[in-house]
A and B are shown apart, each in its own frame.
Chain A
């Protein structure tokens, strides 16, 4: 895929993802727990998407997969999750003297994010293998 087309798909997904994050954040009180939940959910989704889009297939299927990965993965999940807000929230906590809360927020975000990503990867791989085994003509 040419670079301008790839950027356009990422931008579209990023706009939708950012809008979705703001919609979720506005629906609840803006709090650390909401940012944490959004980031952990996005980490799960990206793990599942990237794993789901892996693998062979014909050339047209490969191009579709590449487009879907740019739109949903790099774009949507990238825009939905945010690192700058995590950093700002932790820095604000630390500056107000609550260093232990800042540390706890960072550690919980990293650990839950990694667990969610791994869970997404494992679930998507399981679903893919299952679909392949059930496909007509599967070996």
Chain B
């Protein structure tokens, strides 16, 4: 019973994190779109790269399955980063016959986000053992 209650509470924290993350993505994308006039979807790109870097860091620093990781990683960064918009913009660029931009954006987002997540994991490994990793 208490495990079930814990799961419900965790799920609510994850949903709250997801709402805050999605709001942050929208606000950042709007701020970038107001200044960036290029064809490349820079706002979503920056969201996905920064979120992947942060998820690598948090995964390396926080205990697996702990509430802070659920709230920040699964919830907030899951809601912040988005695959559906990245995929939609890639297809939209291709339909508008901007094949070069579509290819650079589609492959570029994947390559740079994976590199960012790896960098985050690596940076977290530099942290002294027994530091933040005990947060649970």
- Asked if A83 contacts B21 (CB within 8 A), the reply is no
The closest CB in chain A to the CB of B111 belongs to A106
Q: With A22-B74, A43-B87, A84-B81 known to touch, is A15 a contact of B22 (CB < 8 Å)?
A: yes
Count CB-based A-B contacts (< 8 Å).
190
- Size category of the A interface is 35 or more
Q: With A46-B87, A113-B83, A117-B88 known to touch, is A19 a contact of B14 (CB < 8 Å)?
A: yes
Q: A66 interface residue, CB < 8 Å from B?
A: no
Q: Which residues of B contact A46 (CB under 8 A)?
A: 84-85, 87-88
Within 8 A of A (CB), among B108-136: 109-110, 113-118, 121
11 contacts between A and B (CB under 8 A): A17-B22, A22-B11, A43-B83, A46-B88, A81-B82, A81-B84, A84-B54, A87-B56, A87-B116, A88-B59, A91-B115
* Contact bitstring A103-124, B, C-beta under 8 A = 1, else 0: 0001001100110111001000
Contact partner, B90, options A19, A74, A88, A114, Cβ 8 Å? A114
Q: Which residues of B contact A79 (CB under 8 A)?
A: 18-19, 21-22, 78-79, 82
> A-contacting residues of B (Cβ < 8 Å)?
11, 14-23, 25-27, 30, 48, 51-52, 54-56, 59, 73-75, 77-88, 90-91, 94-95, 106-107, 109-110, 113-118, 121
Q: Which residues of B contact A70 (CB under 8 A)?
A: 26
Q: With A10-B22, A78-B84 known to touch, is A18 a contact of B118 (CB < 8 Å)?
A: no
Q: With A3-B30, A15-B19 known to touch, is A22 a contact of B88 (CB < 8 Å)?
A: no
Within 8 A of B (CB), among A44-70: 45-47, 50, 70
- Asked if B114 contacts A18 (CB within 8 A), the reply is no
- Asked if A17 contacts B114 (CB within 8 A), the reply is no
- Asked if A75 contacts B22 (CB within 8 A), the reply is yes
Main secondary structure of the interface of B (DSSP, over half): helix
Q: A6 interface residue, CB < 8 Å from B?
A: yes
Query: Other CB < 8 Å A-B pairs besides A15-B22, A78-B22, A106-B114, 5 of them?
Result: A14-B21, A15-B79, A18-B75, A77-B82, A88-B56
- Asked if B85 contacts A94 (CB within 8 A), the reply is no
- Asked if B116 contacts A11 (CB within 8 A), the reply is no
Contact partner, A42, options B25, B83, B109, B116, Cβ 8 Å? B83
* Interchain CA distance A16-B79 in the complex, whole Å: 10
* Interchain CA distance A78-B29 in the complex, whole Å: 12
- Asked if A87 contacts B22 (CB within 8 A), the reply is no
- Asked if A77 contacts B84 (CB within 8 A), the reply is yes
